Amino acid sequence: MSHTKKNLIKVKNLKKHFSSGLFHKTCVKAVDGISFCIPSGKTLGMVGESGSGKSTVGRCILRLIEPTCGEIYFQGKDILATKGDHRNLRKQMQIIFQDADGSMNPRIKVIDQLLEPLRVHKLLNGQIKETAADLMKLVNLSADLMDRYPHELSGGQRQRIGIARAISINPGFIVADEAAASLDLLVQAQMMDLLKRLQSERGISYLYISHNLPIIRRMADTVAVMYLGRFVETGKTKDIFNSPAHPYTQALLSAVPSINPLARPKKNMLRGEIPSPLQPSCGCSFHPRCSQAGTICSQIIPEKRHIGRDHWAWCHFVSHKRAAA
Ligand code: SF4
């Protein structure tokens, strides 16, 4: 990933380990030493199966959970060095959850939930109905819905309220965690268009987290593919999708059905399930599922390899394959 443009977010060697089991003797490495940058007004798509650690990354950046170690910079400032009240940081960094239902109180009217961030940050100037109507207009919702309860809205409308809440305090950075996952395809497309429009109007940077590759392809400028707490491949979106180098990325892409009905069905290369992080493998963590594994793979963790401009992969054989191609 390029480090040359002005980066809004910079993360260095981030780790989040959880202890579990009797006497906390077992260590789960949910995130295990990842580094990346997100330039202003750009989107990093973080993709991987459920259990890969991508949501934990988003929560660490927002300090909803505390990282075990690492460095996180926002506008050049080390946010982990900031102790105590994180309110000022929260004003600039927001999250949109997958489950708008779960993040809304069913007993509180839409208008009150919508304006809550403005109230918390003391930014509400008294024009309550007007402010709510303006926010709803921004996300293409009728102001008539503001006096309803969440269950009286459709899933897409609730998700738009979640987006309106997030942008109400004008943040520079938003973590969108599976923000369109629970919606049908048409509403999903509308949601992505909305997020892109808001990005171009306001210069917001997104960390877009999803297991859905077509969504990542549409939303992201750069992509990080994650597996069991580590990156396995990073690069520009077009390089990841047009010339995936890592066997895991290739396997994920092979599992995406083609939208062309005339296309020959692809062979799904993704074998088995993501293993439990409680029993990590030695060497490359993908080796039990990798169709291209060699002897070295179960013994030595692969180093990061440069395989093209802003394109990196963590695989013992990747540069050999490219050289041979
Ligand atoms: Fe597969 Fe080996 Fe590459 Fe891991 S290092 S992805 S096991 S070929």
Please tell me the distance between residue 290's alpha carbon and the centre of ligand 1 in angstroms.
Answer: 6
Pocket test for ligand 1, best of 282, 290, 314 (most atoms within 8 A of CB): 290
pLDDT of residue 157 exceeding 50: yes
Please tell me the distance between residue 163's alpha carbon and the centre of ligand 1 in angstroms.
Answer: 39
**The most confident of 18-22, 102-106, 108-112, by mean pLDDT:** 108-112
pLDDT of residue 155 exceeding 70: yes
More confident residue, 8 or 184: 8
User: According to CATH, what is the number of the domain 7-256?
Assistant: 3.40.50.300
Spatial distance between the Cα atoms of 14 and 9, rounded to a whole number of angstroms = 13
User: Given pLDDT bands bounded at 50, 70 and 90, which one contains residue 81?
Assistant: confident
For position 252, what pLDDT does the model report? 93
Pocket test for ligand 1, best of 286, 296, 319, 321 (most atoms within 8 A of CB): 286
With contact defined as beta carbons under 8 Å apart, do 213 and 34 qualify?
A: no
User: Given pLDDT bands bounded at 50, 70 and 90, which one contains residue 3?
Assistant: very low
According to DSSP, the residues that pair with 37 across neighbouring strands are 10
With contact defined as beta carbons under 8 Å apart, do 256 and 215 qualify?
A: no
Spatial distance between the Cα atoms of 123 and 48, rounded to a whole number of angstroms = 37
pLDDT of residue 27 exceeding 60: yes
More confident residue, 272 or 314: 314
Taking CB atoms and a 6 Å cutoff, what residues make up the pocket around ligand 1?
A: 246-247, 284, 286-287, 290, 292-293, 297, 302, 315-317
For position 221, what pLDDT does the model report? 98
For position 26, what pLDDT does the model report? 80
Spatial distance between the Cα atoms of 116 and 112, rounded to a whole number of angstroms = 6
List the one residue out of 106, 107, 132 whose CA is nearest residue 119: 132
pLDDT of residue 40 exceeding 70: yes
pLDDT of residue 321 exceeding 50: no
For position 312, what pLDDT does the model report? 97
pLDDT of residue 291 exceeding 70: yes
pTM here? 0.90
Q: By three-state DSSP, how is residue 302 classified?
A: coil
For position 85, what pLDDT does the model report? 66
List the one residue out of 57, 67, 59 whose CA is nearest residue 36: 57
With contact defined as beta carbons under 8 Å apart, do 97 and 91 qualify?
A: no
Please tell me the distance between residue 10's alpha carbon and the centre of ligand 1 in angstroms.
Answer: 28
Q: What is the mean pLDDT of residues 281-289?
A: 92
Pocket test for ligand 1, best of 274, 317, 318, 321 (most atoms within 8 A of CB): 317
| Strands 230-236, 222-227: pairing kind | antiparallel
- 302 CA: nearest ligand 1 atom: 5
Lowest mean pLDDT among 102-106, 202-206, 249-253, 265-269: 265-269
Q: What is the mean pLDDT of residues 265-274?
A: 73
Q: Which amino acid is at 140?
A: N
As a whole number of Å, the end-to-end CA separation of the chain is 23
Domain extents in the chain: 7-256
For position 186, what pLDDT does the model report? 84
Q: What is the mean pLDDT of residues 14-40?
A: 88
Spatial distance between the Cα atoms of 244 and 29, rounded to a whole number of angstroms = 26
Q: What is the mean pLDDT of residues 101-113?
A: 87
Spatial distance between the Cα atoms of 232 and 248, rounded to a whole number of angstroms = 8
Tell the residue nearest (CA) to atom 3 of ligand 1. 315
